Amino acid sequence: MNLALTILVEGLGYASYLFIVSLGLTIIFGVLKILNVAHGAFYAWGAYSCAFLIGELSTMGVSDLGTMIAIPIAALVVGVVLGSAIERTIIRNLYGRDEVIIVLATFGLFLVLEDVILLVFGVDPYFAFQPTLAMPGVQIGGIYQDGYKLTMIALSLVVGLISWIVLNRTHWGKLVSAIIFDSELAVAMGVNVRRVFYVVFVAGAVLGALGGAYIAPTISVSPGFGVEVIVLSFAVVVIGGMGSIGGAAIGALMVGLLRAYAVLQWPEIELFVVYAVMAAVLIFRPEGLFAPAKARKI
């Protein structure tokens, strides 16, 4: 019972940050049809900026709780500045090129951005644990749980809910759905597709950076840690169905819980199990689990 609870909480905590990161990846894929390898760089940039900002705020004498303001600031600044710059200079000029060429271009971007991080922030790891100190621990079922992790679960629920409302209940969401369904027809109807592409790309970048910024206080932020996240969020997106928000949630839950179970019970299969599930989903249901096969035209 206790074990099941631990796996559940661990898995949910892990799933929630994977969900936030993968959500950014999946909306970019769904709308722009671009598999963005550079997404891992948004994540890493978010984490580095956040850790740096928390350190600065802390030395200025801001309270532990107050340093949490660094998280949204880092996510927004990194997402908007980096996302805009990349969309305007690189991505925009690649629309219409071969799909795989675009993926490769984002891989090149990823390499570049990874090294710019080293040039800007240096090679030493950053520790920014202040926000985790501000959160009291919580007892659930007799087990002490880290409060910060619980807020992460809450954040992912909020992010998921907001995305759902924006996509399903607003004018912008309808435009996005129209473009996902058939971008040529959307153009014919007078939708400014380029502008929607731009906004979606920046929103995706903000989400990627937010995932990184929120995880930063719980880890040591060190070079190269974006590499693993990219391919994990690829797995999440593929398992749930590329381009679907519900799919990203389900994919993240599956990967998070599977991995938590593996880490606690059977560490040898920790990575293997995630990618085995990814391969199995691609083989038996390439459109993704629980994804309506018809509505998505990908």
The contact set with other proteins (CB under 8 A) reads 35, 37, 90, 93-94, 96-101, 103-105, 107-112, 114-116, 118-119, 123, 227, 230-231, 234-235, 238, 242, 267-276, 278-279, 282-283, 286
| Alpha carbons 233 and 227: distance in angstroms, whole number | 11
Closest distance of CB 76 from other proteins, Å:
25
Closest distance of CB 50 from other proteins, Å:
22
Residues whose CB falls within 8 Å of the CB of residue 264, separated by 6 or more in sequence, listed in order: 3, 6, 7, 10
Closest distance of CB 142 from other proteins, Å:
32
Which is closer to other proteins, CB of 54 or CB of 238?
A: 238
Which is closer to other proteins, CB of 200 or CB of 242?
A: 242
Closest distance of CB 214 from other proteins, Å:
24
Handedness of CA 191, 197, 198, 203 (dihedral sign): positive
Which is closer to other proteins, CB of 35 or CB of 50?
A: 35
SS3 63: coil
Which is closer to other proteins, CB of 149 or CB of 259?
A: 259
Handedness of CA 104, 106, 110, 113 (dihedral sign): positive
SS3 98: coil
Q: At what angle do helices 226-240 and 2-32 cross, to 10 degrees?
A: 80
Report whether 208 contacts 233 (CB < 8 A): no
Closest distance of CB 106 from other proteins, Å:
10
Which is closer to other proteins, CB of 99 or CB of 182?
A: 99
